[in-house]
A = this chain, B = another copy of it.
């Protein structure tokens, strides 16, 4: 693995060198992890002008080991700050080291560093010219390699298994919170680092509610039951969302709403292809719901990228700029929520693939039939 990380750092080094910076400090946790594998929380990665060996990972004392991180091995020079510097900021330390190593300019992540931390960096290394690394690492992370995709594939399988097991159990009478906790336990049973994000379980009026947090409401006959969960596997995060009906026969309005959202979600999935504009994927799904008069109930985005973060670029929204590339994993997750009645959300994680390779690769294979449980 370690060659992979070294290659990623070499590519980043070219980018900031081209932009006129002699060194860079990466501080955003997912970016640090992408560039050196396992990294404790709060660590800062110092990249020098020279080759790999110059790179240094500056870690705070008492580093928090996050699940999945300890698995990755990376022979990177590491500086563990002593307890006496417990309050020290690894970014400031790294900048000081860059300055004393003779660097004249340093690129930092201005979208991650607070104004106060940035000021502390400038104060610690006054002769260092600070530039903006911007989202150079996020851009590198956009297209995944097959190693990353296989981690996402496993993460998706784990979530499918956990969901499948839950559906075989009795659901009526159990609360949203307990169903969410059971799903998270099953994710770990099946080898996940942990949940990729807080599991969403919404039943009845809560089903399909955007940003819903599980409550003590119990599942009842006739409810829509909306579940969205994901697994983290070696740091990579999947997402799957399904909606079910509780009881023997769904009501007509439930069948109609489900078929509509399914139609929108399929349109979004079918729009996934290299070269397609992000906003066109959003439009494909959104158009179906708008045409049926549910545009308002729909959220701000049809989907988003997934990887080391559950919500990363690209954004599949009306205002998003850019086009899909092959090997970009995204979610397609349209939904409709009718206040006071409930709603439907259907959410898959797919990898964009060219037509020649069979088109988009579906990672979340749980059925999208409307199951009556």
Give the oligomeric copy count.
2
Asked if residues A65 and B300 are in contact (CB atoms below 8 Å), the reply is no
Are A62 and B110 touching (Cβ within 8 A)?
no
A97-114 near B? 1/0 per residue, CB < 8 Å: 000000000000011111
Contact A62 B210 (CB under 8 A): yes
Complex-state Cα separation, A44 to B32, whole angstroms: 28
Which stretch in A80-88, A145-153, A154-162, A250-258 binds the other chain? A80-88
Q: Which size bracket describes the interface of A in this complex?
A: 35 or more
Asked if A177 and B181 sit within 8 Å, CB to CB, the answer is no
Complex contact A67–B213 (CB within 8 A): yes
Interface string of A20-40 (1 = CB under 8 A from B): 000000000000000000001
Stretch at the interface among A263-271, A314-322, A357-365: A314-322
List which A63-104 residues lie within 8 A (CB) of chain B: 63-67, 83-84, 86-87
Q: Which residues in B have their C-beta under 8 angstroms from that of A354?
A: none
Identify the 6 closest CB pairs spanning chains A and B, nearest first. Answer: A86-B300, A110-B115, A64-B211, A111-B116, A62-B210, A110-B116
Q: CB distance B115 to A211 under 8 Å?
A: no
Supposing A185-B178, A315-B87 touch, asked if A213 and B66 sit within 8 A by C-beta, the answer is yes
Q: Please indicate the chain B residues that have their CB under 8 angstroms from the CB of A299 in the complex.
A: 61-62, 83
Interface residues in A113-132 (C-beta closer than 8 Å to B):
113-119, 132
Rounded to whole angstroms, the CA-CA distance of A111 and B132 in the bound complex is: 18
| Nearest residue, chain B, Cβ from A192 | B177
- A86-B317, A87-B315, A115-B113 known; A211+B300 contact, CB < 8 A: no
